[in-house]
Amino acid sequence: MKAIAGVPISMEGRSATCAHLSSIGNIAAAMTDLWSNESVQQVRLLGGYAPEVFSEILIYDCRLMNTASAQGSAGLLRDWLVAADRYRDPQALVLAPGVVFEAAQRIVGAGASPYAQTVAMARLAVETLDAALETGALTLDRREHKWLGRVRSAVANLPEDPETLRSRLATAYEELYLPEAYI
């Protein structure tokens, strides 16, 4: 949304590890305009209750970002945040600002069809991961390679129109879902 329409976005990000572990925290900090730790439980930690502790961490992040902005270095801080996490995880890579910007261009270029937009994004994700693997910038474990192979094959075999995909799904999986719910 941000890359296409320029609207501010909110996410859980860099300081939300109380809710879940993630390799994309710095990417989220580079991209989002607002984030919070809405899943902080009211438990006692050494520094105080968890909401207080995580609010303090969030304050540190905000101070750092506001200082970088005030000194004209917001772009540099953003670039450092992206460089810190971009190749640590496949999700971080496809959510990095440059890839998101390319995705926005492809989505808009695909026209009004949500299906065509989804296919364009899926192809970009596979291309991006494959390019990073080829250069050695990204490494995946055996399970991730296996899943990327499955995704690569599925994306390569997507038909150009949604009707063809619907008929394939209906033939193979009709008993598992209600096709009319997806029109």
Helix (H) or strand (E) run with residue 48 in it: strand 48-49
Q: What is the pLDDT of residue 31?
A: 86
| Residue pLDDT tens, the chain, 183 long | 788 888 888 877 677 777 777 788 888 888 888 776 667 889 999 999 998 988 888 889 889 999 999 999 999 999 999 999 999 999 999 999 999 999 999 999 999 999 999 999 999 999 999 999 999 999 999 999 999 999 999 999 999 999 999 888 888 888 898 878 877
pLDDT of residue 37: 64
Q: What is the rounded distance in angstroms from the CA atom of residue 114 to the CA atom of residue 161? A: 11
CA nearest to 148, candidates 130, 134, 131, 165: 130
pLDDT of residue 33: 82
CA–CA dist 40, 17 (Å, integer):
9
pLDDT at 82: 95
Q: How many CB atoms lie within 10 A of CB 14?
A: 22
Pairing status of strand 48-49 against strand 10-11 = unpaired
| pLDDT at residue number 162 | 93
Would you call 144 exposed, middle or buried from its count of C-beta atoms within 10 A (0-12, 13-18, 19+)? middle
Indicate the pTM of the whole model. 0.84
What pLDDT, on the 0 to 100 scale, is given for residue 38?
66
